[in-house]
Amino acid sequence: MPLVELEHIEKWYGQNHVLKGVTLGVERGAVVSLIGRSGSGKSTLLRCINGLETFDSGRVVVDGEALDPQKTDLRRFRQHVGMVFQQFNLFPHLTVGRNIMLAPTVVKKQSAREAEEIAREMLGRVGLSDKFDAYPEQLSGGQQQRVAIARSLAMQPSVLLCDEITSALDPELVGEVLKVLERLAADGMTLILVTHEMRFARDVGSKLVFMHLGRVWEEGDPKELMAHPRTPELAQFIGAVAA
Amino acid sequence: MPEFTLWDITRNLLLAARWTVLLSLIAFAGGAIVGLLVTLARVSKFKALRLLMRGYIELFQGTPLLMQLFLAFFGLSLIGIEVSPWVAASLALTLWSSAFLAEIWRGCVEAIPKGQSEASASLGLSWLEAMRYVILPQALRIAIPPTVGFSVQVVKGTALASIIGFVELTKAGTMLNNATFQPFTVFSLVALMYFALCYPLSLYAHSLEAKLHAARRT
């Protein structure tokens, strides 16, 4: 059974039909890249998976638990689903360590010592063990994004959603963040990414999903799809990204 | 008729100034507590509650403080609740300052980028937890200068309580003027005392602002 199941997700923004019945399954340990032009609905779809966006009809199931934005205990649901943002969204008034410890202590009621142990472990995983007491603004963008990843991991989610997490970074900092993702993927973490990093999608991704006009236009093996797009829209998109 | 020396006038005004200070503290503390609740309701996800609080704020911002004092004092006694000038002044000033503080603080809360609450929500924090641990601590930083600045308005606002017979600085000044017929001396001293109360608050607001900026590590 897939870890994440999206069934016929429909969403309207007023008159604007942004998601037109999206169905998608993500297996445990998969690395799924959502690509497509801006406005294709890929970010909206991602945000539906943890309830940051509501949807009008359809079903989202993560780890066997269905999400109904009106009724579900979102708080509990979101503990299965980590999310990392384009703008990092670290808490600027807290140190790196406190950023990571906040949710485990508040939401999971871990003791400070327990949370600190996990925070240090997660910082180690993203290669920033020495930054525990630093404030976010003392870090580079790439480091901040790695802290944001560590912060999500500390809640031990089943799946990590990444919303264009390298798009706000200077080009020379993109690599360090992708390397962290690659290592997570190798460790078996399930990742769903909205991304423009085609090389990462091809080399690390296990599935590529091309979204167009609010639909899953094409999906399949990344290498296969990139080499032989079946639709002119994907061919055109790949051409535009490569250019 | 007894002669009033300058010291007599000053001494009496200083004694009355105690009540100005006390009333200011009550109004500010009460206003802060009520104002925080109004702020939270004003930025909550319940539309009806937000509208209600907006009405509350508009009501107190859109009517003169003097009318609010009259209503609290005469209005309440009309419906059979006998209130002392103390209670009436404390009540009216608390509600009045809560409305202004709530509006100041709403702006500060809304100035915190949306990504902060989205990140909090994604980590499983409830709305109230996100407010408490993430949004309000950051909003506080930017709220302090305008809040302390508003406390100056509260101090000056207490002068209106003199109208309902509350003997504070202004009322004492009026009474002393009636007894001494030295309006220039008396009201100059009154003004000076208000200034002595308010100016340190302004200075404090500025220094807090500077300190908070310095505390932001670069």
| Local confidence pLDDT in tens for the 218 residues of chain B | 567 888 999 999 999 999 999 999 999 999 999 999 999 999 998 999 999 999 999 999 999 999 999 999 999 888 888 889 999 999 999 999 999 999 999 999 999 999 999 999 999 999 999 999 999 999 988 898 899 999 999 999 999 999 998 999 999 999 999 999 999 999 999 999 999 999 999 999 888 878 777 665 44
Search chain A and give the residue with CA nearest B129. Answer: A106
pLDDT at A243: 62
Cβ of A92 within 8 Å of Cβ of B125? The answer is: no
Backbone φ and ψ of A56, nearest 5°: -85, -35
pLDDT at B106: 96
- To test the contact with chain A by mutation, choose from B45, B116, B120, B122 the residue with the greatest count of A C-beta atoms within 10 A, namely B122
Q: Taking an 8 Å Cβ-Cβ cutoff, which residues of chain A contact chain B?
A: 50-52, 74-76, 78-79, 81-83, 85, 87, 89-93, 102-103, 106-108, 135, 137-138, 148, 151-152, 155
Residue A154 contacts residue A116 (beta carbons within 8 Å): no
Provide mean pLDDT across the span A5-16: 92
Cβ of A75 within 8 Å of Cβ of B115? The answer is: no
Q: Does B134 reside within a domain?
A: yes
Per-residue pLDDT tens digits for A172-193: 999 999 999 999 999 999 999 9
Domain ranges of chain A: 4-80+159-242, 92-156
Instruction: Select from A50, A102, A135 the Cβ nearest to the Cβ of B122.
Output: A50
Per-residue pLDDT tens digits for A197-240: 999 999 999 999 999 999 999 999 999 999 999 999 999 999 88
Chain B contact set for A138 (CB, 8 A): 217
Instruction: Select from A85, A107, A135 the Cβ nearest to the Cβ of B115.
Output: A85
pLDDT at B218: 41
Mean pLDDT of chain A: 93
Global pTM reads 0.86
A4-80+159-242 maps to CATH 3.40.50.720: no
Search chain B and give the residue with CA nearest A86. Answer: B115
pLDDT at B217: 46
B126 vs A: CB within 8 A: yes
Looking at per-residue pLDDT, the higher value among B9 and A241 belongs to B9
CA pair distance B148, B214, nearest whole angstrom: 18
Other CB atoms within 10 A of residue A20 CB: 15
pLDDT at A225: 93
pLDDT at A83: 96
B213 vs A: CB within 8 A: no
Q: Does B120 reside within a domain?
A: yes
How far does B151 lie from chain A, in Å, by closest CA?
A: 26
Residue A4 contacts residue A25 (beta carbons within 8 Å): yes
CATH of the domain at B55: 1.10.3720.10
Q: To 5 degrees, how large is the angle CA A192–CA A93–CA B210? A: 145
Does A15 score more than 60 pLDDT? yes
Residue B182 has what DSSP assignment?
A: -
Cβ of A83 within 8 Å of Cβ of B113? The answer is: no
Task: Say how many domains are in chain B.
Answer: 1
ipTM of the complex: 0.92
Question: Residue B81: helix, strand or coil by DSSP?
Answer: coil
Cβ of A106 within 8 Å of Cβ of B119? The answer is: no
Give residue B82's domain range. 6-213
Q: Does B65 reside within a domain?
A: yes
Cβ of B217 within 8 Å of Cβ of A138? The answer is: yes
Q: What percentage of chain A exceeds 70 in pLDDT?
A: 98
Does A75 score more than 90 pLDDT? no
Query: What residue type is assigned to position A70 of the chain?
Result: Q
Size of interface A-B (CB pairs under 8 A): 65
Handedness of CA A171, A159, A201, A195 (dihedral sign): negative
Residue A120 contacts residue A101 (beta carbons within 8 Å): no
Taking alpha carbons only, the member of A212, A160, A219 closest to residue A19 is: A212
Q: Does B218 reside within a domain?
A: no
Search chain B and give the residue with CA nearest A95. Answer: B217
Other CB atoms within 10 A of residue B212 CB: 14
CA pair distance A232, A210, nearest whole angstrom: 12
Q: To 5 degrees, how large is the angle CA A201–CA A206–CA A212? A: 60
